[in-house]
Amino acid sequence: MAYENILKALGRSGEGLSQQQQSDNYRAFSEIMREGVYIPDMISQIDSLKARVEALEHPNPVDAELFTVMESTVREDTDVRTAKDKLATAKTRVISELCMKDTDYRRLFEEYRTLVHTKYVERNERNKGVA
């Protein structure tokens, strides 16, 4: 009965949950109440976190424009250039790791490396013959 009251308070009926899921929820709610957590506060914190995550996933276009202006103003600063270079290096590394997971890309990359090595050796052999 207490579990149904909790679900009603949350505006949910519990329908669609298996008996195991309902049991798990009841245990979780019981533990939360034993720890002295006020569930409406917890729900408002969850809603707040969801809003913050959404804001991070979809930045405000005004903020993006403002950042672009700020960035262009200080782009020659040594610290800013160093930080941007670090960011570019990390981005390249991540993109490379993702690309290498594709078998076709990895095969073409290996073919390219082999060709570069072959051409390098040929050029060195030719230069040795000239010297």
In a domain, 76, yes or no: no
Question: What pTM was estimated for this model as a whole?
Answer: 0.44
- pLDDT tens per residue across span 85-113: 999 999 999 999 999 999 999 999 999 99
Domain count, the chain: 2
- Domain-ending residue, one of 57, 77, 93: 57
In a domain, 69, yes or no: no
Question: Which range of residues forms the domain containing residue 115?
Answer: 103-131
In a domain, 75, yes or no: no
Q: Is the pLDDT of residue 128 over 70?
A: yes
In a domain, 85, yes or no: no
Percent of the chain with pLDDT over 70: 86
Conformation bin of residue 44: beta by default, left when phi > 0, alpha when psi is -120 to 50: alpha
Structure tokens at 96: 């490379």
In a domain, 70, yes or no: no
- Domain-ending residue, one of 22, 38, 57: 57
In a domain, 63, yes or no: no
Dist CA 108 CA 116 (whole Å):
12
Helical H runs in the chain? 2-9, 19-34, 39-57, 61-74, 78-100, 103-130
- Domain-ending residue, one of 25, 42, 57: 57
In a domain, 65, yes or no: no
Q: Is the pLDDT of residue 126 over 60?
A: yes
Structure tokens at 48: 């707040």
Using pLDDT thresholds of 50, 70 and 90, give the confidence band for residue 4. Answer: low
Which residue's structure tokens are 């990359």? 109
In a domain, 127, yes or no: yes
Output DSSP code: residue 83: H
Among candidates 67, 10, 86, which has minimal Cα distance to 43?
10
